[in-house]
């Protein structure tokens, strides 16, 4: 989920986001604030969400964690909005969501 959120904000320059001029297109309905890559990530997450735990357990990294005895980590990763202490990516830094 975090990856999808990060991808949704990626490549703001190519999607009409901030280009350093101060005109970021906020409020302009002709400017799409989500990059094409972000749209793909959002669609992939929407597809996986109903079976997120199964999808994570079935991917290469999930299988590797399970094989190494970390199945609980995979289960935990599939929990959405379960904690307010999970940091959020704000630019290059991780910050407290609260």
Over residues 26-60, the pLDDT tens digits come to 667 777 889 999 999 999 999 999 999 999 999 99
Q: How far is CA 80 from CA 22, 31, 50, 96, in A?
A: 34, 29, 11, 16
Sign of CA dihedral 85, 87, 90, 92: positive
**pLDDT above 50: residue 79:** yes
Give the pTM.
0.53
Question: Region 76-97: what's the mean pLDDT?
Answer: 84
SS3 11: coil
Q: How far is CA 56 from CA 37, 52, 76, 86, in A?
A: 20, 6, 10, 18
DSSP one-letter code for 95: E
Pair 58, 64: CB distance under 8 Å: no
């Amino acid at each position: 989920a975090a990856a999808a959120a990060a991808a949704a904000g990626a490549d703001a320059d190519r999607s009409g986001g901030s280009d350093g001029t101060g005109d970021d297109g906020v409020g302009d309905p002709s400017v799409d604030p989500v990059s094409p890559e972000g749209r793909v990530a959002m669609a992939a997450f929407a597809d996986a969400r109903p079976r997120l735990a199964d999808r994570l357990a079935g991917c290469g990294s999930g299988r590797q964690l399970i094989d190494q005895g970390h199945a609980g980590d995979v289960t935990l990763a599939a929990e959405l909005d379960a904690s307010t202490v999970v940091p959020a990516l704000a630019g290059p830094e991780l910050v407290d969501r609260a």
